[in-house]
Structure 1
Amino acid sequence: LTAVASRKTVGGFLRIAWRTAGDIARRVATRLGSSMPCMFDGLTAIGVDETSYRKGRTYITVVVDHKRKRVVWAHDGYGKEVLDLFFRQLTDEQRASIKAVTGDGAKWIDASVKEHLPNAERVLDSFHIVSWMTDTLDQVRKRLWNQARRGNDKTAAETMKGLKYAVPQEPRRPDRTAIRSLETLGDTDPKGQLYRSWQLKELLRTLPRQPVGQAEAELKRWIFRASHSRIPEIVELCRKIRRRRDDILGTIGPGYSNARLEAFNNKIKVTIRMAYGFRHVDNLIAMIKLRCSGLPTHLPTPTL
């Protein structure tokens, strides 16, 4: 029941305290995990990411097995010291079998992988590459919005404010109203900074879908256009893209993506909301394992 319902619901249904339900989840997850084959055997490609579970920059670090599509490890905190704990639990054979590690551009992931898996390929996830550009695009919009407000141009300010949810959209969406609004800014953005930034975002988004040779040429063209765009936010991002150029191209070849890990993050967020009021992070990690690690939990068959 804990795998599909909140602890408060389980406690009321079974007439036990919700704290007791959390303790039971931790004990069951430990017992089931010890009865299964070691989850660290046969790892070939893993994904690493952190997700917040409480206000105040409190995170848990999650490691996902791409091949078997399950969470294999989770721990309170984030950073190189936390990820080092995971790699130290692996045997030499288990570390040697890992060929690729996906994740965002965090330096602590780079440092830990370089120390413990010197022969593994560090894959920069395309999801986060596009998110860099999306965040930069919103920074451009905010700057233009603030400029319009300071200039008492209410029409331009309202237009920029209304484009908040338009700039992340893709042109293949059925509703192109927001995209047409970007194309016809005209008076409110005479230099076309927001629309040109959106075009650069689309070029970067389609990059991972192209063959490696073509993607290398397209990335070179993107860097040239971005560096000559005269848009401060885009020029700053261009410097970051240029520094991580080899990592970005390495993403395209293997075809690994952190999309599965991002999906697990959404499931973890739901688990956190359902476990509202928990006091011990170990109980939360136990619930994550029950829901995302493939542990053999089965509900009773309903009677028809």
Structure 2
Amino acid sequence: MKDLNEPYSALLGLDDSWRVEDVDLDLLGNQGAIRLSHVGGGSLTCPDCEAACPAPEWTWRQLDTLQFKTELRARVPRSRCAKCGVKTIAVPWSGKHSRFTLLLEAFAVEVLQACTNLSRASCLLGLSWDAVHTIIKRAVDRGLSRRKLDDIKHVGLDEKSFGKGHNHVSVMTDSDDRRVLEVVPERTTTAADSLWKTLTQSQRSKIASVSMDMWAAFMTSADKNAPNAEIVHDKFHVAKYLGEAVDKVRRSEHRALKKEGDEPLTGSRQLWLYNAENLDEDRHARLALLQEQDLRTSRARAIKEHFRWFWDYTYAGNAKKFFDRWFGWARRSQLDPVKRVAATLKRHLAGLLSYFRHRVTNATTEGFNSRIQSIKSAARGFRNFANYRTCILFYCGKLQLNP
């Protein structure tokens, strides 16, 4: 199919050194191939030794044309000699070492960003799973090379599950810009140290706060790698610890009452864990009836709910006075799970009070939880950590991904 050089050259953005030689259509196979040729031929000579090397034909996947699977084919001029090695010219339609055109990569990035579900995106693009991951990896590499990290003031550290069992990954986020900075396997001090290598020593010296839970490995690493930063213990994790304490009290009390033939706590787990404003009318009424009984679980929940006032103070001094009163109440509660959490909070009080100087939380990281979970589910889990990391950065890194 001749006489297509001008329109296809314009569509492909070719310069004067390339021309469309032919277009082959396979109507039954629903595919086509655009054959390109270099005006100067298929081989180059080395400027030093004048050695030449014939060029093999390469193929690139292009955007579909009218629903026809489309490929570009060309012999890319190159030279080879013992002194200089192999030298290949750059082509205007594709990146280095890629077998996809820039147009296809850009479109695939848009589809993947909009779709999230990797399996469905792969089907829509007509590409294999491996091809999609190759495009994602190239996009992330581009984005990381363009990323700016100079003005980061507040970061967050958190862990996420990976695979089956008790495998975890550690995640660093930029709290202000709401983006994931890095992901590494495990949640050890060594893993956290690896996260800090994302930033230069100069950049780390400018970090004002690090939001995290009370995991010792993260605290040790932050003290070592960001000595000018204050550790801020995240209120979402504090709420989680208190909620777990309430649930332990409920389970223990439920077992004891059940032995006596009384089961008022059956099916009530969510009632005790939800904040009052998040309960619908029916659940609120049922909780009110349970609270009329002299239940240990009710006392545990009251202690948990009362601690929420801690975060409403403006000044750290007033917050500390509140904590001291709350701690005395929790310690006298005779509820062992509550007393253990209260003791933990007491040991980490400095990190709790740091909140009032920086007003930062791990809300950014917590907000990524559902996104990361959807990535795992859509990809039917990840056995390969490198692919998991790449996808998290692709969807949550706010990177400039387009070629």
Write out aligned runs for 1:97-116 (5 A).
Answer: 97-116=206-225
Q: CA RMSD for the aligned pairs?
A: 2.0
Structure 2 residue 118 is the aligned partner of structure 1 residue 7: yes
SS of residue matched to 1:16? coil
Amino acid at match of 1:49: D
Count of matched residue pairs: 290
Quote the residue 2:397 is aligned against. Answer: 293
Instruction: Extract unaligned runs of 5+ from structure 2.
Output: 1-110
What is the CA–CA distance in structure 1 between the aligned matches of 2:191 and 2:200, rounded to whole Å? 17
Quote the residue 1:178 is aligned against. Answer: 283
SS of residue matched to 1:161? coil
* Identical positions, percent: 23
Question: Closer, same or farther in 2 for the Cα pair 1:277/1:41, shift >3 Å?
Answer: same
Question: How far apart are 1:110 and its partner, in Å?
Answer: 0.7
Structure 1 window deviating more from structure 2 (199-208 vs 86-95): it is: 86-95
Question: Closer, same or farther in 2 for the Cα pair 1:57/1:87, shift >3 Å?
Answer: same
Structure 1 window deviating more from structure 2 (161-170 vs 98-107): it is: 161-170
Q: 1:250 aligns with which of 354, 365, 371?
A: 354
Amino acid at match of 1:127: F
What is the CA–CA distance in structure 2 between the aligned matches of 1:126 and 1:291, rounded to whole Å? 25
Give CA deviations for 1:21-55 in whole Å, capped at 9, x if unaligned. 11221122112321x143x3221100011101211
Question: How far apart are 1:278 and its partner, in Å?
Answer: 4.2
Question: How far apart are 1:296 and its partner, in Å?
Answer: 2.9
The 8 Å contact of residues 48 and 101 in structure 1, kept in 2 or not, is answered as yes
Quote the residue 2:46 is aligned against. Answer: none
The 8 Å contact of residues 80 and 108 in structure 1, kept in 2 or not, is answered as yes
SS of residue matched to 1:54? coil
Question: Closer, same or farther in 2 for the Cα pair 1:126/1:289, shift >3 Å?
Answer: same
Question: How far apart are 1:79 and its partner, in Å?
Answer: 1.5
Q: 2:313 aligns with which of 186, 210, 217?
A: 210
Structure number with the bigger relative contact order (C-alpha 8 A, sep ≥ 6) is 1
Q: Which structure's residues are more often strand, by fraction?
A: 2
Give CA deviations for 1:259-299 in whole Å, capped at 9, x if unaligned. 1110012211111111225442222222211211112347x
TM-score normalised by structure 1 residue count: 0.88
What is the CA–CA distance in structure 1 between the aligned matches of 2:124 and 2:338, rounded to whole Å? 55
Question: Closer, same or farther in 2 for the Cα pair 1:161/1:113, shift >3 Å?
Answer: same
Structure 1 window deviating more from structure 2 (266-275 vs 204-213): it is: 204-213
SS of residue matched to 1:94? helix
Question: Closer, same or farther in 2 for the Cα pair 1:57/1:252, shift >3 Å?
Answer: same
Q: Which structure's residues are more often helix, by fraction?
A: 1
Structure 2 residue 178 is the aligned partner of structure 1 residue 75: no
Instruction: Extract unaligned runs of 5+ from structure 1.
Output: 299-304
Question: How far apart are 1:15 and its partner, in Å?
Answer: 2.5
Amino acid at match of 2:171: V
The 8 Å contact of residues 205 and 227 in structure 2, kept in 1 or not, is answered as no
Quote the residue 1:239 is aligned against. Answer: 343
Question: Closer, same or farther in 2 for the Cα pair 1:199/1:290, shift >3 Å?
Answer: same
Question: How far apart are 1:174 and its partner, in Å?
Answer: 5.8
Amino acid at match of 2:123: G
Give CA deviations for 1:64-107 in whole Å, capped at 9, x if unaligned. 11121111111222211111112234322111111100011100
Question: Closer, same or farther in 2 for the Cα pair 1:22/1:245, shift >3 Å?
Answer: same
Give runs of ≥4 in structure 1 deviating > 6 Å: none
Quote the residue 1:18 is aligned against. Answer: 129
Structure 2 residue 271 is the aligned partner of structure 1 residue 166: yes
